[in-house]
Chain A
Amino acid sequence: MRVPGIEDKSPVLAEAVVPEFYQDLHTDLMFLNVGPSHPASHGTLRTFVALDGETIAAAVTEIGYLHRGFEKTCELRTYNQCIPYTDRLNYCSAILNNIGFAKAAERLMGVEITDRCKFVRVIVGEMMRVVDHLICIGTNLVDIGALSNFWFLYNKREQVYTILERLTGARLTNSFTRIGGLARDLYDGFEADTLAVLADIEKAAVNVQSLVAKNRIFVDRTQGICILTPERAISYGFTGPNLRATGVPLDLRKTQPYYHYDAFDFDIAVGSKGDTYDRIMVRFIEIEQSIRIIRQAIKMLPGGPINVDDKRVTLPGKADTYQNIEGLINHFKLIFEGVKAPVGEVYDATEAANGELGFYIVSDGSGYPYKVKCRPPCFYAFNAFHEMVEGHMIADLVATLGSINIIAGELER
Chain B
Amino acid sequence: MGVSANAVLANVQRLYPNFFTLSPTQEAVLVVPLANLLETLTKLRQDPDLNFNFLMDLTIIDYLTHPVPRKTRFEVVYQLFALESAARLRVKAAVQQAESIQSVTGLWAAADWAEREAWEMYGLKFDGHTNLRRLLTHKDFVGYPLRKDYPAKKRQPLNDSDTLLEEMEQRLVFKGLKTVEVEG
Contacts and interface: CB of A to CB of B under 8 A. Distances in A.
A203 interface: no
B112 A375 contact: no
Given A31-B168, A235-B109, A344-B23, A50 B61 contact: no
Interface stretch (B9-17, B35-43, B48-56, B93-101): B48-56
A263 interface: no
A345 B56 CA distance: 16
Contacts of A349: 56
A289 to B, nearest CB: 20
Contact of A64 (B23, B27, B135, B152): B135
Contacts of B86: 255-256
Nearest to B150: A72
Interface string A92-103: 000000000000
Interface in A335-372: 342-349, 356, 358, 360, 362, 364-365, 370-371
A204 interface: no
Interface in A28-43: 28-29, 31
Interface residues on B, range: 35 or more
Interface string B42-77: 000000000001111101011001111000000001
B113 A380 contact: yes
Contact of B113 (A69, A239, A383): A383
B68 A343 contact: yes
A237 B180 contact: no
A63 interface: yes
User: Which among A48, A108, A413 has the greatest number of chain B C-beta atoms within 10 A?
Assistant: A48
Contact of B172 (A46, A58, A72): A58
A356 B79 CA distance: 12
Contacts of B171: 50, 58-60, 386
A364 B110 contact: no
B132 interface: no
9 contacts: A50-B181, A58-B172, A63-B136, A71-B146, A237-B55, A237-B56, A344-B24, A345-B25, A364-B68
What are the 7 closest A-B residue pairs judged by CB atoms, nearest first?
A237-B110, A28-B184, A375-B57, A67-B136, A235-B109, A64-B136, A48-B164
